[in-house]
Amino acid sequence: MQSLWLIFQLLFCLFIGFMLARRLPQWLESIAFKILPYFTYILLIAIAIEFSQTIHSIANPSIILSNALIISIATSIGAFLCCYLLFKGIGYQPSQGKVSVALLTKSLLNISYAFLALAAGYGLAELFNLFHYTLHISTWNLLLIFMFLIGLDLAYSPRDRSWLNWKILLVPIACIIGSILGAIFVSFFIQSISLKDLIMLSQGYGFYSMTGIVVTELKNAQLGSIALMNDLFREIFAIVFMYLIGWRYPRSAISSAGATAMDVTLPMVKQACGNAFIPHAMVSGFVLSVLAPIAVSILAAL
């Protein structure tokens, strides 16, 4: 019941934001859209504060980073290969595109901002800890606000019914299947985490600002920390794949990008893969962004 209530809260805030778009005063929407690009960093600072408190109760914190890195590599490659095989099976040939060093640099800079936010939150928590004071920030309430803002943003995202065909939907389907296969592969190397929990961690699709909080709420802080770092790493690998081989295998690169294909990595899709693949990124990112909180919450509660 707890998981259903959490899912309801997430989807309700997303729905309310979507429905209130164009109905709110223009000045209020303007403020919301100005806040949205930076709200992720606020969430990351809050998450890092909780992470700091978790680290003190864990014997070997390095295990969190190593496990998250292994899971992210396996699930990212799994999504890429699964999409490649699916489209090769229906006769699609590799494509061509172009890359931009300037955009790559800007994207890597944005990722570094995320890690700076994490470092700031962690440092702030440690500073207060020196004075024997524990910071209390509700990351869940911040996440609900974030889902509301995403709902507003989705309402203004361009949508076309022609995008919803079975070939485009193979991209998010490949991400789902490939991520699960990656988690199964990892289960042979990570014995400390059950297969069910590995599959749960694989279903974040790079949505790091959500999965870490949900897993912490429904499971425990250690798994929540792994979920956060896993999805942060997945976003980094998405950027790497997009620029190294996205011009050649655009659908596979978009699949490996997961939920980030609709927002963070969308400019890279346009630059590295071409405008023809923007529908793939928008549809795949939307499907996975909606599915991620549901899948993670349900699997965490089982």
Q: Over the stretch 71-118, which tens digit does the pLDDT of each residue have?
A: 999 999 999 999 999 998 888 777 655 556 776 676 677 778 878 888
pLDDT of residue 68: 92
Which amino acid, 188? F
What is the chain's mean pLDDT, rounded?
A: 83
Least confident of 4-13, 219-228, 245-254: 4-13
Q: Alpha-carbon distance 128 to 116, whole Å?
A: 18
Which pTM was predicted? Answer: 0.75
What stretches of 21-100 show up as alpha helix (H) in DSSP?
26-55, 62-89
pLDDT of residue 165: 74
Q: Alpha-carbon distance 167 to 20, whole Å?
A: 32
pLDDT level of residue 202 (50, 70, 90 thresholds): very high
Which amino acid, 81? L
Least confident of 1-10, 44-53, 113-122, 209-218: 1-10
DSSP SS3 for 187: coil
Yes or no: say if 230 and 68 are a contact pair by the CB < 8 Å rule: yes
pLDDT level of residue 161 (50, 70, 90 thresholds): low
pLDDT of residue 83: 94
Q: Alpha-carbon distance 263 to 240, whole Å?
A: 16
The whole-number average pLDDT for the span 28-40 is 85
Residue 2 has pLDDT above 60, yes or no: no
Q: Alpha-carbon distance 281 to 203, whole Å?
A: 18
Yes or no: say if 262 and 282 are a contact pair by the CB < 8 Å rule: yes
pLDDT of residue 3: 52
Yes or no: say if 113 and 44 are a contact pair by the CB < 8 Å rule: no
DSSP SS3 for 249: coil
- Comparing 177 with 8, the larger pLDDT belongs to 177
Least confident of 5-14, 30-39, 146-155, 233-242: 5-14
CA 108 to chain centre: 16
Exposure string for 123-142, b = 16+ CB within 10 A, e = fewer: eebeeeeeeeeeeebebeeb
Yes or no: say if 200 and 299 are a contact pair by the CB < 8 Å rule: yes
The whole-number average pLDDT for the span 141-165 is 76
Among 198, 177, 179, 176, CA closest to 187 = 198
The whole-number average pLDDT for the span 123-146 is 84
Q: Alpha-carbon distance 288 to 79, whole Å?
A: 12
Which amino acid, 191? Q
Q: How many CB atoms lie within 10 A of CB 220?
A: 14
Report phi then psi at 120, rounded to 5. -65, -45
Among 15, 217, 21, 44, CA closest to 124 = 44
DSSP SS3 for 13: helix
Residue 193 has pLDDT above 70, yes or no: yes
Q: Alpha-carbon distance 94 to 50, whole Å?
A: 44
Yes or no: say if 166 and 185 are a contact pair by the CB < 8 Å rule: no
pLDDT of residue 281: 86
Residue 4 has pLDDT above 70, yes or no: no
pLDDT level of residue 166 (50, 70, 90 thresholds): confident
pLDDT of residue 253: 92
Q: Alpha-carbon distance 37 to 21, whole Å?
A: 17
pLDDT level of residue 197 (50, 70, 90 thresholds): very high
For the chain, what percent of residues have pLDDT higher than 90?
24
Least confident of 106-110, 203-207, 241-245: 106-110
pLDDT level of residue 46 (50, 70, 90 thresholds): confident
Q: Alpha-carbon distance 66 to 229, whole Å?
A: 10
pLDDT of residue 91: 81
